[in-house]
Structure 1
Amino acid sequence: MLRIRRLKTEIKTSNGVFGSDDKFTEGLNFIASEDNTCGKSSIIAAIYYCLGLEEIIGGRGEKVLTSVYKTSIEEGESVWPVLESGAYLEISNGKDVITIYRAAKMENRDSKLITVCHSELDDIGKPNILCEDMYVHMPNSAVNKKGFHSFLETFLHIELPLVPASDDAIRKLYLQLIFSGMFIEQKHGWADLLSGMPVLGIRESKKRVLEFILRLDTLENEKKKDYLRTSESNIKHKWESLVKELIIYTNRESCTISGLPAGPKLLSEDDFSKILISKDNDSIEEYIEDLNEQYKELGLMKPKIIDNFDEVQEELNETENSIDQFESELHKHRDMLLSENSSIERLASNLEIIDSDIRNNKDAARLRDLGSELNLATSKDLCPVCSQAIQDTLIPDSSHMQVMSIDENIRHLNAQKEMLEFARNSHRQNKEKLQGKITQLENSLFKLRSLAKSLRSDLYSTNDNMSESIVYKRLQLDSEINNLNKLCDLLSSQKLKLKELSDEWKQYLTEKSGLPSKKFTDLDEEKIKTLRNHFINNLRQFGYKSILNLNQIDISLESYLPIIEGFDMKFDSSASDNIRAIWAFILALLQTSNEKAGNHPGVLIFDEPAQHSIVINDMEQFFNCIIKLKKSQVIVGITIKDSDTRQVISKLPSEDYNLIRVPNKAFRKFESESE
């Protein structure tokens, strides 16, 4: 919810301060003048400007404002050059009130800087009133903490969706786009429906805005479909990688695997039991059992004490010593690996802190460069509580030390970041080397233990004719048995992973089946029907005549814009009826949102809606329709030069609208306090 409560403009000249100070109410507000060049649009433009929505007018920054804010201001026959100018806008979200200040012309203060005070305008400057500087129309101003539009989104309790951009990225639906469906400015806004919408790289921006205002489920369903497509891709990728790994290891041992699904599917216990590895037409378990029998048979052969008993014993002792050394070396390398992992985690944590500090310092520098001059006590090394001097270091007697500036802090932090990243990369390289070394040590240990086992066998059970052959065969058998056992262990672990992926696949299929079978939910269809009904009723009420049978009008299910027989209804509309259609549609969006719990913030601005010689009776119906709106605020800039327009406004019940009269010149000279 957005309510505009007060707008105060200030234009400082050598002859004093000029400006305007207007208060707005709930419901219908008129900004009215006798002539079309008195400054109504300049006042309305200041509202856009303070909200950072001036792109709806046609540009960014102070250049969209009239010359009265930037160059000179007239006072009778005199013309005074503008020295400084800016505007205060007091708004509410229905509960809290803030005042926004944005400069239009000021030395050392960029127009991208916005100051937000958490109070009413009259309370600014009082003790304990929080004011903070933010920025707008800069990278990340819609997402960063100090970005004004990020703040405004939170303040207005708006949750902007993520939508596809023209470069295939996913971006937030910008506030400038949303409010272009509510703020209709004089120059471009009356050309067509939502014609003031800026181009910000969002794909099908009008469609996305209408989906958001009406809170259609289609937007959420599209997000769910994107999420499910990503989930499907991830599961398939993991499944295929797992299957590929199993096949590689199975082929390496000259085995075959059966019952393994090539792609994701729901697996039952029976399915898991059918995933088998075999070799030489035997199951792997039977084959391993047969190898163990062969190994035992070789060990039962009658040995004889051989002549080189002492040499074999000595070799066995050396082998066992080597095993001890390798085990010690392996233990040491594993400890070193743990240390490297700990260092990498610590450096990653430090890098997160450094990145946060860099962002904060860059935001501070950005605000400083824009001209922020908030009187923060901590920036002057003063305690905000007791006002005593404070130091940013615990080193005694550090008054002679020079404190780094923000720019020096950023350079120092970037240097620290580079150093930490270099250290982390070094530790990662060390980790890879250690992992490789550990693998080598484990393989060497395996061979040494197998050798020791064979040497013991030679000492106590070797036949004089077959000792070398037996050792060789037993080593080969032992190696094959170990490899096949590892393959069995791998199959067991991969089955567990398959079970997890199968469960994920089940969840994916469940969520996919929960998507609506048709594009629109029943509630969506009801909202679109309500929008159509309000639109047609408004057209009928406003005297739309270009189409004889208004029931031919429909709302496109592709663009959510009005069509006739599949074509844009603008092609069948006269210039004045096109204006009526814009009135009707913009009001219908608000009416539908109010009735069907949409996302409309409940505020509209129409600058000079009486375009193309609109019949005065239709204008009266337009105003009466606005008055009947609930939970809304509508600001209308209008010229009442002719008596008919003045008479229409005078016919309205005085309690149903707020009239802000703009004199010959909207910006008058403020009386000084001394006067």
Structure 2
Amino acid sequence: MHLRYSRVRLEAKLFNGKLASCEVELRPGANLILTDSNTQGKSTLVNALAVGLGLDDLVKGNVAALVKDTLRGAQGDQRIVEAAILLEIANASNELLTIRRSVKPELSRGMLVRRGPLSQWSEAGLEEYYLGSGSYTDTRGFHRLLSEFIGFPEVQVISQDDGVMRLYLEYIFSAIFIEQKRGWADIMANMPYYRVRDPKKSTIAELLGLDYIRNNLQRNALRLDEQRLKARYDTGIAILRRHVNGRQFSIKGIPSDIGVGSFSPQIFRVTEGEKQQSLADLLSAAEADLASKIALADLTPPDPSLQSRIDEISKRITALVTRKSELDNAIAAIRGNVRRYQQRLEVLARDLQKNKEELKIRRLFNRDEWAITSACPVCEQSIDGTLLSQMRSFPTMSIDENVEYITDQRNLLQDIISVEIARRERHQVESEQLGNEISIALTQQSEIQKSLAGAIPSELMARARDIARIENAIGSYRDLLDQTSSELAALLNIWNEYLDVAGKLSKLRSDLSADDQSLLRQFQRTFRDYLGRLGFNSFEIGSMVIDEGSFMPRVIVNDRDRRVRADFGTSASDWIRIITAFVLALHASRDNSQKSNHPNLTVFDEPAQQNIDRQDYLKFFDIVADVCRKGGQVIVAATDKDHAVRARAQGLHMHVIDFGSEYILR
């Protein structure tokens, strides 16, 4: 990920018709925005860098002068009609994107974008995007565009409810953008609340390029898999036991707790004398008994009257099979229709979403809602602008009407699908009934065919009844065996899958990987180095550590390695040193890992907080220069009454934007 500010322009249209403005070029490396005193508009300019990207939570929408009704000027306060923020930003490929956001005086939710430099800004080629719901996901969402432009990937993190969500740019910027009012209260003081679990830890891990988030995601996913598989296993056991017990059988060899013991199921029945016989043994014995009785059966002369009955049943079976085939073909055709309707429904859903996004854009920018404004409503060819007013008589649809039309189409299609599904279900019921009738007819046919052998003597009749009883028992055994075999195979798959997941989970380290520990050690060395250079003296520098459990600064307070928060016993000025050193060390550590998602940008507003020692404060600019030598960009806004910062910055060859005693907006 790479973001660089190239140019910022603030505009305020005054009630008297004049325009107050400020345009500043920001270069790669260190940029210092300096004034001789406070309240000259530095924070307005700095906060506009965040608000211009739609990151309002970082500064709570505060762009000072631009959101007020009046603007302070050399001739006194002037009333503001409306204002605007224009930002020119660059990515790693040095492509330029210019963004305009209106302030009227409330901040607009619509964003105008042009691909190119601010100097070429014009109405031609503008693209319209919006903030708010869908900003990261919708095709017209501004933060989706911004993320793609600067190369910010969709980083998945664990949410408060154990689900998965994305890490937003607001989290990244809360660690690199230190505004004046609340930014110096804590590390990532302006972090938003979007239900991310351990948001500071997850954000710092991404800035440093640690594997923490990926490992945590994998661990969380495996634990969820464990829970899912256990629930499926418990449900499967309950269903299997009810099924087996309902057939007067029992089952053993299936542990109640998945993964505990061995999976060796056996279905059995307790017979006379408390003897246990397995289902397989009972089936084998019944098949052998049947074979012996059929071998002893004697054929008798056929009964001529039975032939006509079997012919009638054969015709009935043929008719039933024909009707069932017709129904099955109709069911297949309905399934195909439903699939095509559902595909059309998906197309309508996409069209509806696009029209709703277009409607949102048009309402944000107060434009008319006609669906056709620059094209022929028949052939869709472009129309000269002078002809558009004449085309208004054509009955075109507005976006609202188009949304309503597509919604009606969707509802109609849903009704058709419901009717088709109901018709398919009726055919399915009838087909199943025909299947049962065919089965009954086949059984009758089989019985009559057996009777065609002729009159059966009483002893053969008894043998026939035994054969029928044994056949019924065999059918029941086979049915139970087939069903339980499939259920047991499914349970065994769940069992093996659970063991595989549990094995992977046991191999995952609960602590940091060796690479993560190495990156944290490098980060800690840089953090300590900067603390020392800034004059930190509340504790020994060696007692300041980056905690592996939170990735935050901690202080070792005794020999037992007891660690406490870094602000424990720390002076106010040293707390500012800790925040400064931490943020700059994050930037400097960007090149330690190719997985880092640090944007190579850091912003400070008034780093001389809590009356920090003047000499230590000037050393801050030496560190900034060191960080920027690797190609990063750091923007600092500061008050410089005695011009000592100007002299230091010039000696370090920094880019100085010096307003002196002037207001920034003028």
TM-score when scaled to structure 1?
0.86
User: Structure 1 residue 622 and structure 2 residue 628: aligned?
Assistant: no
The residue that corresponds to 2:544 in the other structure is: 553
The residue that corresponds to 2:433 in the other structure is: 440
Deviations 1:264-309 (A, max 9, x none): 5699xxx99x766556626537625634753773585445558xx4
Tell me: CA distance 1:282–1:231, structure 2 relative to 1, closer, same or farther (3 Å): closer
Deviations 1:82-130 (A, max 9, x none): 2221011011112121111111128xx9701111211111223387xx4
Tell me: CA distance 1:410–1:377, structure 2 relative to 1, closer, same or farther (3 Å): closer
Identity over the aligned pairs, expressed in percent? 24
Select the residue among 313, 321, 328 that pairs with 2:322. 328
Worse overlay, 155-164 or 258-267:
258-267
Deviations 1:556-604 (A, max 9, x none): 2332211223221213122212111111111111122232342211111
Select the residue among 462, 484, 503 that pairs with 2:477. 484
Equivalences, count:
641
The residue that corresponds to 2:536 in the other structure is: 544
The residue that corresponds to 1:86 in the other structure is: 84
Contact 2:283 2:477 in 1 (8 A): no
Contact 1:4 1:91 in 2 (8 A): yes
CA distance in 1: counterparts of 2:310 and 2:471, whole angstroms: 18
The residue type paired with residue 576 of structure 2 is: I
Contact 1:181 1:586 in 2 (8 A): yes
The residue that corresponds to 1:673 in the other structure is: none
CA distance in 2: counterparts of 1:326 and 1:243, whole angstroms: 39
Deviations 1:370-392 (A, max 9, x none): 11669999742169x996449xx
The residue that corresponds to 1:12 in the other structure is: 13
Tell me: CA distance 1:631–1:500, structure 2 relative to 1, closer, same or farther (3 Å): farther
Tell me: CA distance 1:513–1:481, structure 2 relative to 1, closer, same or farther (3 Å): same
The residue that corresponds to 2:189 in the other structure is: 195
Contact 1:594 1:631 in 2 (8 A): no
Identify unmatched segments of 5+ residues in structure 1: 391-397, 670-675
Tell me: CA distance 1:523–1:161, structure 2 relative to 1, closer, same or farther (3 Å): same
The residue that corresponds to 1:672 in the other structure is: none
The residue type paired with residue 457 of structure 1 is: K
User: Structure 1 residue 354 and structure 2 residue 354: aligned?
Assistant: no
CA distance in 2: counterparts of 1:149 and 1:500, whole angstroms: 43
Q: What is the correspondence of 1:202-351 to structure 2 with a 5 Å cutoff?
A: 202-256=196-250, 277=267, 281=277, 284=280, 287-288=283-284, 290-291=286-287, 293-294=289-290, 297=293, 301-302=297-298, 304=300, 309=303, 311-351=305-345
Q: What is the correspondence of 1:572-611 to structure 2 with a 5 Å cutoff?
A: 572-597=569-594, 598-611=596-609
Deviations 1:44-79 (A, max 9, x none): 1211111111211124xxxx2223454223443254
The residue type paired with residue 12 of structure 2 is: I
Q: CA deviation at 1:41?
A: 0.8
CA distance in 2: counterparts of 1:460 and 1:185, whole angstroms: 101
Contact 1:266 1:502 in 2 (8 A): no
CA distance in 2: counterparts of 1:386 and 1:141, whole angstroms: 30
The residue that corresponds to 1:23 in the other structure is: 25
Deviations 1:596-639 (A, max 9, x none): 34221111111111112222211121100110112311111111
Tell me: CA distance 1:261–1:453, structure 2 relative to 1, closer, same or farther (3 Å): farther
Tell me: CA distance 1:480–1:338, structure 2 relative to 1, closer, same or farther (3 Å): farther
Contact 1:104 1:111 in 2 (8 A): yes
The residue that corresponds to 1:3 in the other structure is: 4
Q: CA deviation at 1:215?
A: 2.4
CA distance in 2: counterparts of 1:225 and 1:51, whole angstroms: 34
The residue that corresponds to 2:44 in the other structure is: 42
Tell me: CA distance 1:631–1:450, structure 2 relative to 1, closer, same or farther (3 Å): same
Contact 1:454 1:475 in 2 (8 A): no
Contact 1:295 1:477 in 2 (8 A): no
The residue type paired with residue 21 of structure 2 is: G
Contact 2:158 2:217 in 1 (8 A): no
TM-score when scaled to structure 2?
0.87
Tell me: CA distance 1:319–1:288, structure 2 relative to 1, closer, same or farther (3 Å): farther
CA distance in 2: counterparts of 1:276 and 1:204, whole angstroms: 48
Deviations 1:126-180 (A, max 9, x none): 87xx4321111x2221222221112212221112423333455532222112101
The residue type paired with residue 532 of structure 1 is: Q
Worse overlay, 341-350 or 183-192:
341-350
The residue that corresponds to 1:172 in the other structure is: 166
CA distance in 2: counterparts of 1:449 and 1:193, whole angstroms: 81
Contact 2:286 2:473 in 1 (8 A): no
Q: What is the correspondence of 1:59-70 to structure 2 with a 5 Å cutoff?
A: 59=61, 64-70=62-68
Q: CA deviation at 1:316?
A: 2.3
CA distance in 2: counterparts of 1:657 and 1:377, whole angstroms: 52
Contact 1:532 1:554 in 2 (8 A): yes
Contact 2:66 2:103 in 1 (8 A): no
The residue type paired with residue 67 of structure 1 is: A
The residue that corresponds to 1:124 in the other structure is: 121
Contact 2:621 2:648 in 1 (8 A): no
CA distance in 1: counterparts of 2:297 and 2:392, whole angstroms: 89
Contact 1:113 1:372 in 2 (8 A): no
The residue that corresponds to 2:274 in the other structure is: none
Contact 1:258 1:277 in 2 (8 A): yes
Contact 1:10 1:87 in 2 (8 A): yes
Contact 2:179 2:604 in 1 (8 A): yes
The residue that corresponds to 1:54 in the other structure is: 56
The residue type paired with residue 188 of structure 1 is: R
The residue that corresponds to 2:358 in the other structure is: 364
- Superposition RMSD in Å: 3.4
Contact 1:194 1:206 in 2 (8 A): yes
Tell me: CA distance 1:227–1:200, structure 2 relative to 1, closer, same or farther (3 Å): closer
CA distance in 1: counterparts of 2:349 and 2:371, whole angstroms: 25
Contact 1:133 1:374 in 2 (8 A): no
User: Structure 1 residue 76 and structure 2 residue 70: aligned?
Assistant: no
Contact 2:250 2:267 in 1 (8 A): yes
Contact 2:30 2:633 in 1 (8 A): yes
Q: CA deviation at 1:495?
A: 6.1
Worse overlay, 430-439 or 253-262:
253-262
3-state SS in 2 of match to 1:614: coil
Identify unmatched segments of 5+ residues in structure 2: 272-276, 385-390, 558-562
3-state SS in 1 of match to 2:567: helix
CA distance in 2: counterparts of 1:503 and 1:352, whole angstroms: 37
Select the residue among 153, 157, 171 that pairs with 2:147. 153
User: Structure 1 residue 512 and structure 2 residue 508: aligned?
Assistant: no
